[in-house]
Structure 1
Amino acid sequence: MSDSYDLKGKRVFVAGHRGLVGKAIMRRLENEDCQLLTVGREDCDLREQAQVRDWFAANTPDAVIVAAAKVGGILANDTYPAEFLYDNLMIEANVIDAAYRSGVEKLLFLGSSCIYPKMAPQPITEDALLTGPLEPTNEWYAIAKIAGIKLCQAYRKQYGADFISAMPTNLYGPGDSFDLENSHVLPALIRKAHEAKEAGDASFEIWGTGSPRREFLHVDDLADGAIFLLQNYSGHEHVNLGSSEDLPIVELAETVCEVVGFDGDITKDTSKPDGTPRKLMSGDKIAAMGWKPQIGLREGIADAYRAFLAGERKN
């Protein structure tokens, strides 16, 4: 089902505009003839219902993109399960409900590929949702994101609200977190390779066996795909947003080393968890609508490393 939505002249609220995804969406929306609305936590904590309702009533956005979330890698998810579940549930519930109450015309909720079962058939199609157990190390975040999808579907079913959801794969790029305890795998590898090069080390270490396969999408491609869906899609089912290509973590580490210029060895700490063995999403649905990513992995890693060196990051 397609339904063209014209952003021209619209007031567009990007929730989470300071994060990796939000910043990229803000950059992408500069190409559209629309008015951008943002709010910081110091003025409106999205976890607080009354604050969110008051903000929506006062600012009356026409369209909303929900990019706000508490995010992190395996260690962060496993260490802070309460925050990953509670904070994300509150953010999405408050924003989606306030959007409906204030008459928002179109809303896009951004989830995560971790919503899918750990052992889902590959590549993962949208209908794999809720067909099996989740990966235990990030189930708290996944359950919150599944709830967000279902909330959009519920408001669509009950009230006819034009609320849609997109599921990005692993994202990276300018504005990412390079903190070694809380970041995702690709920025962590960039930092490790860079620091090993600078220190003259003979090697650096990666978690697990290096065999799990992962798919990556540059955040600017994600932003472009998200705006494409906002403008061209209106349907009950969520839509995958990925590159439709994956590779083993050890090969990713080797590519990062080539880009960074580290020529030492890569060692493996097999006492650390691997996570899901493979998590490749099918991009057939959005491809059939006429969209595909433009930034290749090596080119994207080079851009992320440039951003790291320039200090365009969260630490």
Structure 2
Amino acid sequence: MNTTTKIYIAGHRGMVGSAIWRALESKGYSNLVGKSSKELDLRSQESVSDFFATEQPEVVIDAAARVGGILANNDYPYQFLMENMQIQNNLIDSSLKADVQKFIFLGSSCIYPKLAPQPLKEEYLLTGPLEPTNEWYAVAKITGVKACEAIRRQFGKDYISLMPTNLYGPFDNFDLKTSHVLPAMVRKFHDAKLNGNTPVELWGSGTPMREFLYVEDLADAVVFALENRFQDNLYNVGTGVDLTIKELAELIQKTVGHSGKLKWDSSKPDGTPRKLMDVTKMTEAGWTAKVDLEEGIKRTYKWFLENQDTFKQVKL
């Protein structure tokens, strides 16, 4: 690896991909390649194969995926399963055929069983049933992890999978129909503040526990993985610290400056009771997260305020 190594970042315009792009640029990497979905349909095997033949990247980072929260996963199960498999299969297979030596696959903590022991260790993969509210996305990501593991085992290539915990930060999706819990709360509290601090209603009981990682920390972890060869194929990436959804709501409410009431709709699903990552392997490899949650939320809300007219709104 050097600063002129040709690195293709799939999904470079998304929250994760753009953060990785900025992180690499800040470290002097100058030969970065990115294509928008209009320029390259990653669901098309032929298009992806042609792209690899033309561009011949030396390193590939797969930050491309169809993502969304509980509602989106529930309403569009086929798309979340099939499109994610198409995207990653085309990227992984084309990388293998093009003799790409280094491939980083980004997944999600939802690959682990719903009721797995806490904190979640990499070895818990495929040891129990998944969380039903996002199993379609999880199954797709599991196949990507296993494809990279198979290539590593069979062909000896440095293909690794990083499983980040819940992500948030600049360029997140704040659309209330398709967003994840943290950006959805930011949007809800902000809108309610503007409407005279009206009450904010949130899904579930507020008791589930979640861990959150600032997206620029994940980007830093990806750069670390690029510049080092890891011994294993699968690594969790997180902070190793969690809190209840109620505590998260109160922290965001304080950051936004909303002074109205908070209501919980217990008729809506909670999802997995707890989802904390064991980050021992990543720590032992030499990487730890740097941005704590309170600081990360402040940065995220600042970005939200500065980009309200242009932030991403997914249309399914």
Identity among equivalent pairs (%):
53
| 2:161 match | 165
1: CA distance between counterparts of 2:203 and 2:92? 37
Q: Does residue 120 of structure 1 match 2:135?
A: no
TM-score under structure 2 normalisation? 0.96
| 2:186 match | 190
| 1:3 match | none
Q: Displacement, 1:84?
A: 0.2
Q: Residue by residue, what CA displacement relative to the aligned partner does 1:282-304 show, whole Å, maximum 9, x if unpaired?
A: 01111111111111101100111
Q: Displacement, 1:190?
A: 0.3
Q: Is the 8 A contact 1:164 1:235 kept in 2?
A: no
Q: Displacement, 1:105?
A: 1.8
Q: Does residue 141 of structure 1 match 2:112?
A: no
| 2:9 match | 14
Q: Displacement, 1:202?
A: 3.6
Q: Which runs of 5+ in 2 are unaligned?
A: none
1: CA distance between counterparts of 2:9 and 2:2? 13
Paired residue type of 1:263: S
Q: Displacement, 1:100?
A: 1.0
Residue 30 of structure 1 aligns to a residue in which SS? Answer: helix
Q: 1:236 to 1:289 in 2, by over 3 A?
A: closer
Paired residue type of 2:4: G
Q: Displacement, 1:108?
A: 0.2
Which residue, out of 73, 82, 89, partners 1:86?
82
1: CA distance between counterparts of 2:70 and 2:2? 37
Q: Residue by residue, what CA displacement relative to the aligned partner does 1:110-165 show, whole Å, maximum 9, x if unpaired?
A: 00000000001011111010010000000000000000000001111222221110
How many residues in Structure 1 have an aligned counterpart in Structure 2?
Answer: 310
Residue 26 of structure 2 aligns to a residue in which SS? Answer: coil
Q: Is the 8 A contact 1:163 1:234 kept in 2?
A: no
Q: Displacement, 1:40?
A: 1.4
Q: Displacement, 1:230?
A: 1.9
1: CA distance between counterparts of 2:258 and 2:27? 40
TM-score under structure 1 normalisation? 0.96
Q: Residue by residue, what CA displacement relative to the aligned partner does 1:266-296 show, whole Å, maximum 9, x if unpaired?
A: 1001111000000000011111111111111
Paired residue type of 1:275: G
Q: Displacement, 1:203?
A: 1.4
Q: Which runs of 5+ in 1 are unaligned?
A: 1-5
Divergent runs of 4+, >6 A: none
Paired residue type of 1:262: H
Q: Residue by residue, what CA displacement relative to the aligned partner does 1:190-228 show, whole Å, maximum 9, x if unpaired?
A: 000001110013410110000000000000001001111
Residue 206 of structure 1 aligns to a residue in which SS? Answer: strand
Q: Displacement, 1:52?
A: 0.2
2: CA distance between counterparts of 1:184 and 1:226? 22
2: CA distance between counterparts of 1:257 and 1:42? 37
Q: Displacement, 1:229?
A: 1.4
Q: Is the 8 A contact 2:60 2:100 kept in 1?
A: yes
Which residue, out of 306, 312, 315, partners 1:314?
312
Q: Does residue 212 of structure 1 match 2:208?
A: yes
Q: Is the 8 A contact 2:197 2:259 kept in 1?
A: no
- Give matches, 1:1-315, under 5 Å: 6-34=1-29, 35-311=31-307, 313-315=311-313
Name the stretch that deviates more: 225-234 or 45-54: 225-234
Q: 1:149 to 1:235 in 2, by over 3 A?
A: farther
Residue 306 of structure 1 aligns to a residue in which SS? Answer: helix
Q: Is the 8 A contact 1:156 1:236 kept in 2?
A: no
Name the stretch that deviates more: 154-163 or 221-230: 154-163
Paired residue type of 2:312: K
Q: Residue by residue, what CA displacement relative to the aligned partner does 1:13-42 show, whole Å, maximum 9, x if unpaired?
A: 000001110010011010233310011122
Q: Displacement, 1:71?
A: 0.2
